[in-house]
Copies of this chain bind each other. A is one copy, B any other.
Amino acid sequence: MLEFYAGVPHLKSDRAFNGALARLARRTQNRSPLPFGGFSALFDLKRLKVRDPLLVATTDGVGTKLDLARLTGTHNTIGIDLVAMSVNDLITCGARPIFFLDYFAAGAFDRKRTLEVIRGIAKGCVEAGCSLVGGETAIMPGFYADSTYDLAGFAVGVVERSRAISGDRIQAGDSLLGLESSGFHSNGFSLVRKLFTEKELSGQTGRRFLKPTQIYVKPVLNLISKVRINGIAHITGGGFYDNLPRIVPKGLSVEIDRGTWPVDPLFREVAKRARSTEREMYHTFNMGIGMVLVLSKRVVRRAQHILKRFGISSWEIGAVVKGHGVTLK
């Protein structure tokens, strides 16, 4: 149970490491995987009590935000980002995350650092309400510098068929409710690294960039159990321009009213240094909005009220109109 499949023999026999991993993973087990399966993680679907379940799967990494972890020497939050990227994708169709697996690859084995990373993953899993059921720790000298590692995450969720959200209910006149991001989340860092010096990124500025990605599972799942939501877009790489069209039916487009929400000055600083147009900025960064919900105008205030109870600010940032694409006003 909870075996972490270490990619190299000496990790498989490193009992202290495996014991620590198991303890971290155990904290996340709120729907108890079965106590068997030496090579794989088993999960009992019946315990979820979903009559007609659709399985939903997502995978993602955290990209070059990893560099910020390295530069600031802070490795215990990047795992939160890893979980966030996958589970925030899952909930866009209304699915509840049930379990998570991670892939951790490094050039050299550093037990302390590895456990810090996985501590973050476990923390993210608790926040997302999903069980960390396994992972792979691969040591690949030559592929990664000793001080470098990469991460991939994989989440599975489940949604009752009649409650799955696909975006096909979206219609002209619907409102767009933007949910505040916790900063840059996990996108745009290849650009950020070009604009700021290593010194800046190792200090205060680096720590601002490193702030973990907001996990929207609890507020959004609570909200959709109470208010009819027609579509959900997770604003990741490609910003509004690439992500909103993924859920809007053909013949419809979205109009965004800039100025309806506060934008962290750090986005402005990035724009200034990059000499980016607004369009470029909105094509790369979330600009303060981590998730966009599409819903009928008359339920906007109720939705905002529910989200606020979970500490999430939200703003009516635009509307669905006829046409195609994304328009910034």
Contacts and interface: CB of A to CB of B under 8 A. Distances in A.
Interface in A8-45: 8-9, 12-13, 34, 36-45
Contacts of A236: 5
A57 B150 contact: no
A133 B103 CA distance: 18
Interface stretch (A137-145, A205-213, A214-222, A296-304): A137-145
B92 A39 contact: yes
Given A56-B37, A152-B103, A12 B136 contact: no
Contacts of A9: 237-239, 242, 283-284
Nearest to A247: B38
A102 B61 CA distance: 11
Nearest to A8: B237
Interface stretch (A121-129, A162-170, A172-180, A307-315): A162-170
A49 interface: no
B238 A164 contact: no
Contact of A142 (B64, B89, B283): B64
- Looking at chain A, what size class is its interface with the partner chain? 35 or more
Contacts of A142: 64, 67, 193
A55 B66 contact: no
B143 A148 contact: yes
A100 to B, nearest CB: 9
Contact of A166 (B36, B52, B238): B36
Majority secondary structure, A binding face: mixed
B64 A140 contact: yes
Interface of A: 3, 5-9, 12-13, 34, 36-46, 52-61, 63-64, 66-67, 89-90, 92-93, 95, 98-99, 101-103, 105, 133-136, 138-144, 148, 150, 152, 154, 156-157, 159, 161, 164, 166-168, 190, 193, 233-234, 236-239, 242, 246-247, 283-284
26 contacts: A7-B60, A9-B238, A9-B283, A36-B166, A36-B167, A37-B56, A37-B93, A38-B233, A38-B246, A39-B90, A39-B233, A40-B57, A40-B92, A41-B58, A42-B164, A44-B161, A45-B53, A59-B102, A59-B103, A61-B103, A61-B105, A66-B143, A67-B143, A101-B154, A143-B148, A154-B154
Given A9-B237, A41-B56, 13 more contacts: A5-B89, A7-B237, A12-B238, A34-B54, A36-B93, A38-B167, A39-B58, A40-B56, A42-B55, A42-B164, A44-B54, A46-B52, A59-B103
